[in-house]
Structure 1
Amino acid sequence: MESSTAGEAGVPRPDPPVVGKVNHHSIELYWDIDNVYRQRDSTNRWFKFSIEEEDARTHVYGTIYSGYSRKHLVEGLESITNYRFRLKVTAFDGEYAYSPVVSVSTTREPMNGEHLHRAVNMNDEEAVINILQSGHVKADIPDKLSFTPLMVAAQKGYLRLVKLLVEHGADVHQENGSGKNSMMLACFSGHLDVVAYLREQGASWESRDRSGCTAMHWAADGGHVEVIRWMIDDGCEVDSKDTGLHWTPLMRVSAVSGSTEVARCLIAAGAKVNVKDKDGKTPLMVAALNNHEQLVRFLIESGADCSITNEYGISITDMAKAFERKNVANLLEEKKKETQVSRR
């Protein structure tokens, strides 16, 4: 319905609302009373205004504003979407008229950090380039877990994206909430090409996370021997202790993976096989407690001392028996007998 009554006796048909500022989630509409309305309303009473929006699916209009203001901001809209509005003017006596419909589209949503992180996670190089070149998003913007796009790309091994992000200003030294940087994540995940590139860009082997762990600790946890060998050749320290338990990378191997390959690599590079943590435990004790039988055997062959006790005077054999590590306990007993025989 265009109007209830028209002409001089009724409410003249108003002009459509004027479109003001438009962005990706809102549209500003405004209108005014011209001389025609003022002439009609000789008693100086107010007209009431309503803005109605068309439902795109049913084509039925619904009221989204009603009052005496001369403008209204329509919010909560979808980006790149067309909307249709009309103005309804109601006189004090109940007569009313509708304006012609105005059609307006919202703009594209500006690029933001979520777009960049989504593109990095999908390894979408073209999208990453477009977002970075838009100038709206910083290369180091963190996600909800405080990971930067560079950290994500380094962890996933996306070398081309790593290079793109660094070229657009991403900081290789940036840390997440736990203090890990891109180098640590790349070392843990075993991406040697990313590790080498980050090193070229100034990433340091001396950096530590919140618990005092270095990139070598994380490389040891990841168990990627090729990466560890490269790090060693590049001068990375193999015996750094964390600030919590005072564990070295070899201790971490003994506790986590039990990898004899990683242990062999570290020991060959000078890692101390009988180093003690803050409680006096050695890598051999830690390996025994975690039931890494093959690693226990290898550590003994590499010079681990079975006679060492912790700060409470407890030996590795006592530990193995107390925690019911039967295979390890039997192995230690065998080694003890072999040692006794060899000394006779």
Structure 2
Amino acid sequence: METAGEVGIKRPDPPVVGKVNHHSIELYWDINNVYKRIGPSNKWFRFSIEEEDVKTHMYGTVYSGYSMKHVVEGLDSSTSYRFRLKVTGHNGEYAYSPVVTVSTTREPMTGEHLHRAVNMNDEDAVLKILQSGHVKVDIPDKLGFSPLMIAAQRGYFRIVQLLIDHGADMNKENGSGKNSLILACFAGHLDVVEYLRQQGASWESRDKGGCTAMHSAVDGGNVKLIEWMISDGCEVDSRDSGSKWTPLMRVSAVTGNTHVARRLIAAGADVNVKDKDGKTPLMVAALNNHERLVRLLIEKGADCSITNEYGIGIAEMAKAFNRQNMVVILEDMKKEIL
């Protein structure tokens, strides 16, 4: 029996398509063993897989050798590709197969796709990804934020609804222990906070530093949100687990926001509460140079005679930290009170 190489190169069948996914296509050929390996290797038929360039319609070689299978990798998803098989004999004669067209599959949805859609506030894309069933709704990003945390922090109300409708866990925490409610409170998104509360989010949740949603809200400074939180029963004098600061203490230490302080005091915040070092909101506000807040606290009953755990009072503290302006305010306020 004569081999194909002895009578010229027979036109090969097109490559057979094997496994296909979103980035690779498996091709194999000569399933009927037409091009047998007879004699020394320099007499064997050589196979090449060529791919057509969609722009130039020229063919380029993606594989050349003696194997009868090749996986073409690094392809784009949902894209059509055209391949042909070239068989070359030892004498240089060759023949091409008909072209085979095959398309890669759609790229499977991943957590990265979901996070990208949430960050872009793309409701349609988020819904499509969630309905695909391939991505877990609470999958975290590289920073440990779930999609719901991101949506709550950015105030994407409809995205928050979609995620919760698909089972997102409101109690899930990031690396610092902050959940979606705490993040939304800091960012000041009242509509999101209201919705999370309606869905069962608790005011009792705390981050790893023991700070509550109210601590977070006063840092953010949204007075309207804080008023609503108070009306909804959120505690105004909860303490963190480190410095034992209440929300009013955080205002005194961080922002000095008198509008926020007024709301807290009106809701019953203790103006003479002490932290773990025995400092009061007045002392902390004075040391942080919040003049208007110092005046407000004294007006609201802050006791200037209280000392810390070392027996040091506010006037002495102010002088020690070169807060001469605070010394003047304290003396002026004392005269006004007298």
- Name which of 193, 212, 215 aligns with 1:217: 215
Alignment partner, residue 300 of structure 2 = 302
For residues 162 and 43 of structure 1, the distance between their equivalents in structure 2, rounded to whole angstroms, comes to 70
Report 1:281-296 matches (<5 A).
281-296=279-294
- Name which of 14, 32, 43 aligns with 2:39: 43
Alignment partner, residue 180 of structure 1 = 178
- Answer with 319-328 or 260-269: which moved more: 319-328
Q: CA deviation at 1:7?
A: 8.4
- Name which of 117, 134, 137 aligns with 1:136: 134
- Name which of 59, 67, 71 aligns with 2:65: 67
| Residues 140-190 of structure 1 deviation map (CA, whole Å, 9 limit, x = unaligned) | 122222111111221122222212111110111111111111111111122
**Aligned-partner residue type, residue 101 of structure 1:** V
Q: CA deviation at 1:270?
A: 1.6
For residues 94 and 85 of structure 1, the distance between their equivalents in structure 2, rounded to whole angstroms, comes to 21
Alignment partner, residue 77 of structure 2 = 79
Relative to 1, partners in 2 of residues 1:100 and 1:249: Cα closer, same or farther, differing over 3 Å?
same
Alignment partner, residue 195 of structure 2 = 197
Q: CA deviation at 1:57?
A: 3.9
**Aligned-partner residue type, residue 125 of structure 1:** E
State TM-score, norm by structure 1.
0.89
State TM-score, norm by structure 2.
0.91
| Residues 91-145 of structure 1 deviation map (CA, whole Å, 9 limit, x = unaligned) | 3444433323222222221222222222222222222222211111222122222
Alignment partner, residue 325 of structure 1 = 323
For residues 114 and 104 of structure 2, the distance between their equivalents in structure 1, rounded to whole angstroms, comes to 22
Alignment partner, residue 167 of structure 2 = 169
- Answer with 82-91 or 147-156: which moved more: 82-91
**Aligned-partner residue type, residue 328 of structure 2:** N
**Aligned-partner residue type, residue 320 of structure 2:** A
Q: CA deviation at 1:322?
A: 3.5
Q: CA deviation at 1:304?
A: 1.0
- Answer with 305-314 or 69-78: which moved more: 305-314
The answer as to 2:242 corresponding to 1:253 is no
Please state whether the residue corresponding to 1:37 is helix, strand or coil.
Answer: coil
- Answer with 174-183 or 96-105: which moved more: 96-105
Q: CA deviation at 1:53?
A: 2.4
Q: CA RMSD in A?
A: 2.2
Contact 1:157 1:191 in 2 (8 A): yes
Contact 1:150 1:182 in 2 (8 A): yes
**Aligned-partner residue type, residue 54 of structure 1:** E
- Name which of 276, 279, 282 aligns with 1:278: 276
Contact 2:295 2:333 in 1 (8 A): no
Report 1:85-124 matches (<5 A).
85-124=83-122
Contact 2:240 2:246 in 1 (8 A): yes
**Aligned-partner residue type, residue 148 of structure 1:** S
Please state whether the residue corresponding to 2:35 is helix, strand or coil.
Answer: helix
- Name which of 226, 231, 250 aligns with 1:228: 226
For residues 157 and 259 of structure 1, the distance between their equivalents in structure 2, rounded to whole angstroms, comes to 23
Q: CA deviation at 1:44?
A: 7.5
For residues 164 and 33 of structure 2, the distance between their equivalents in structure 1, rounded to whole angstroms, comes to 62
For residues 318 and 48 of structure 1, the distance between their equivalents in structure 2, rounded to whole angstroms, comes to 93
Report 1:6-17 matches (<5 A).
9-17=7-15
Please state whether the residue corresponding to 2:317 is helix, strand or coil.
Answer: helix
Please state whether the residue corresponding to 1:20 is helix, strand or coil.
Answer: strand
Contact 2:49 2:63 in 1 (8 A): yes
- Point out 4+ residue stretches in structure 1 off by more than 6 angstroms: none
| Residues 291-331 of structure 1 deviation map (CA, whole Å, 9 limit, x = unaligned) | 11111100111111122222333332233333333432321
Please state whether the residue corresponding to 2:22 is helix, strand or coil.
Answer: coil
Alignment partner, residue 3 of structure 1 = none
For residues 42 and 70 of structure 1, the distance between their equivalents in structure 2, rounded to whole angstroms, comes to 15
Contact 1:49 1:88 in 2 (8 A): yes
Q: CA deviation at 1:70?
A: 1.9
For residues 12 and 242 of structure 1, the distance between their equivalents in structure 2, rounded to whole angstroms, comes to 82
Alignment partner, residue 207 of structure 1 = 205
- Answer with 96-105 or 183-192: which moved more: 96-105
Quote the sequence identity (%).
76
- Name which of 314, 317, 325 aligns with 1:316: 314
For residues 336 and 232 of structure 1, the distance between their equivalents in structure 2, rounded to whole angstroms, comes to 32
Contact 1:12 1:37 in 2 (8 A): no
- Answer with 294-303 or 327-336: which moved more: 327-336
